[in-house]
Structure 1
Amino acid sequence: MKQKETENKSEFLFQKKNYMLMLVGVAVIALGFILMAGGGSDDPNVFNEEIYSFRRIRLAPTLVLLGLGIEIYAIMAKSKKA
């Protein structure tokens, strides 16, 4: 009887640590995309140099890649239960 009870018990694929890391990764990716937004011009005849700022060219893509790295780590991190 105990064998059936243990077989029917469902478990999550990841632990709480993995899910928290995934949420942090999604937040970092979202922040990167938010920082990348804007910088355009409403008038097509006027060029806005703001599109080439450090924030949009270096910082935002770095945050997106960092967030993807966090996501990969969160998925690959082993759980402590064996």
Structure 2
Amino acid sequence: MNNPHFAFTKKNYILMLIGIGIIILGFTIIGLDSEPHGFGFLGLTLGPIVTLAGFLFQFYAIFYRSEKK
């Protein structure tokens, strides 16, 4: 009982921070669209794809397991 077991390791937290950064980048790309109401390529295509990739990366970061035991 002296050795507490945490659900996430340091690498999980680093990967989660990277995922949050990718999500923020996606929303920033959406906001940079110069078309009215974000109806251009950045607002409708590139930004949402980057944001979705960030969320998928978050799932990877949460489920990542190091092989060291």
Whether TM-score is above 0.5 comes out as yes
Q: Which runs of 5+ in 2 are unaligned?
A: none
Which aligned runs of 4 or more in structure 1 are off by greater than 2 angstroms?
8-12, 79-82
User: 1:68 — aligned with what?
Assistant: 55
TM-score norm. by structure 2 comes to 0.79
Q: Which is higher, the Rg of structure 1 or of structure 2?
A: 1
Task: Give the share of equivalent positions with the same residue, in percent.
Answer: 39
Q: Is the CA contact (8 Å cut-off) linking 1:29 and 1:65 kept in structure 2? A: yes
Let me know the Cα RMSD of the aligned residues: 1.9
1:12 to 3, 6, 21: 6
TM-score norm. by structure 1 comes to 0.69
Q: Which runs of 5+ in 1 are unaligned?
A: 1-6, 40-48
Residue 38 of structure 1: how far off its partner (Å): 5.8
Q: Helix, strand or coil for the counterpart of 1:8?
A: coil
